[in-house]
Structure 1
Amino acid sequence: MPLSGTLLAVSAFAELTTALDLGTARAPHSLSRKLSLGSGTGAGKADRVFSDRRTLAASATEDLDLAGSLVDAFGATITFARIKGIIVAAADANANNVVVGNATSNAWATLLGATSTLTLRPGAFVAVGTGVADATGYAVTAGTGDLLKIANSGAGTSVTYDVHIIGASA
């Protein structure tokens, strides 16, 4: 089944201004990146996608198995060999943080390392994409390096997060 319309885009814009005697000085700053992938498994291509809204109970954790237990929109089990793009977004209404990374075993370490984490405060998000010429992406090793841990940082309330993963099966 071909994958089409695969796009990951991020953009930031800010403008500094200051009043001068006879006008206003402006310094615009912007940075944009876009990753558009074709269907397949090589450089600039992807053939698998996982997308879900998930909720973790207070103080709970879960391991997303990137090679063998995630299910796509049609009910087929997904096995990623390479991740080309990932977005994780914490819900605005969360009281606790969403913590990404640091699985106890078989950690997917090619993005954050085996023990590092990324903390997403309520409403925060992170997006990571590979370059279109990158055939490797972030490698997934089934059975030994394929678990992405997601954790609720505290007690008392659940957290909700969205996750979108684009990758290749080979």
Structure 2
Amino acid sequence: MALTSSLSIAASAELSTALDLTTGRAPLQVRRSVSLASGTGVGQADKVFSDRRTLAASASEDLDLAGVLLDAFGATITFARVKGIIVSAAAGNTNSVVIGAASSNPWATLLNATGTLTLRPGDAFSAHAGQANATAWAVAAGTGDLLKVANSGAGTPVTYDVVIIGASA
């Protein structure tokens, strides 16, 4: 099965102010992107996981990046390296979605073992390794492969979307 993928992060802004005879402008355009061919080497990926998930009030789950997740065709995915990740919290959530700090075997190469990222309703997080980054974010099956996702509070469920692109070797 072949996989071609691309990830990008972009921002645009224009700061302006009225001057005596003109308007001063400072436009900004920033875009970082990576295109990945099919494979397991530098600039390549061969696995993708995507899903819309819901967690009950105060619940959490560990996404096992090595051998439990299924791709769109029902095949088991084992990531050796993550090349890109996107997580977005639904705008209709009341509580936040908290990513990271699994109690055992945490996938620690992106957020460290105890680091977390809190996504309030409507927030999104995206990261991708550079085109020439040979290792990206390593996954260690059985010892460093759990990405914890938690509902920050009681009372209501949260929904989030997740996309993980990576390589099996």
TM-score (norm 1): 0.98
Q: Tell me, which stretches of 5 or more residues in structure 2 are unaligned?
A: none
How much is the aligned-residue C-alpha RMSD, in angstroms? 0.5
* Structure 2 match to 1:42: 41
Matched residue, 2:124: 125
Partner of 1:163: 162
The residue type paired with residue 140 of structure 1 is V
**What is the one-letter code of the residue matched to 2:138?**
A
List per-residue Cα deviations over 1:128-159 (Å, max 9, x = no partner). Answer: 00011111010000000000000000000000
Taking the TM superposition and a 5 Å limit, the aligned residue runs for 1:104-123 are 104-123=103-122
Say yes or no: does 1:11 pair with 2:29. no
**How far apart, in 2, do the equivalents of 1:90 and 1:8 lie?**
18
Q: Map 1:1-170 to 2 at 5 A.
A: 1-4=1-4, 6-170=5-169
CA drift of 1:61 comes to: 0.2
Aligned residues: 169
TM-score of the pair, normalised by structure 2: 0.99
The Cα shift of 1:60 comes to 0.3
The amino acid across from 2:103 in the alignment is: T
Say which SS state the counterpart of residue 110 (structure 2) adopts.
Answer: helix
Q: Name the CA distance, whole Å, in 1 between partners of 2:70 and 2:36.
A: 21
> Tell me, which stretches of 5 or more residues in structure 1 are unaligned?
none
Deviation at 1:30, TM superposition (A): 2.1
- Sequence identity of aligned pairs in percent? 70
Q: Give the whole-Å Cα distance in 1 for the aligned partners of 2:29 and 2:91.
A: 25
Deviating above 3 A after TM superposition, structure 1's stretches of 4 or more consecutive aligned residues are: none
CA distance, structure 1, for counterparts of residue 91 and residue 33 of structure 2: 25
Q: What one-letter code is carried by the residue in structure 2 that aligns with 1:24?
A: T
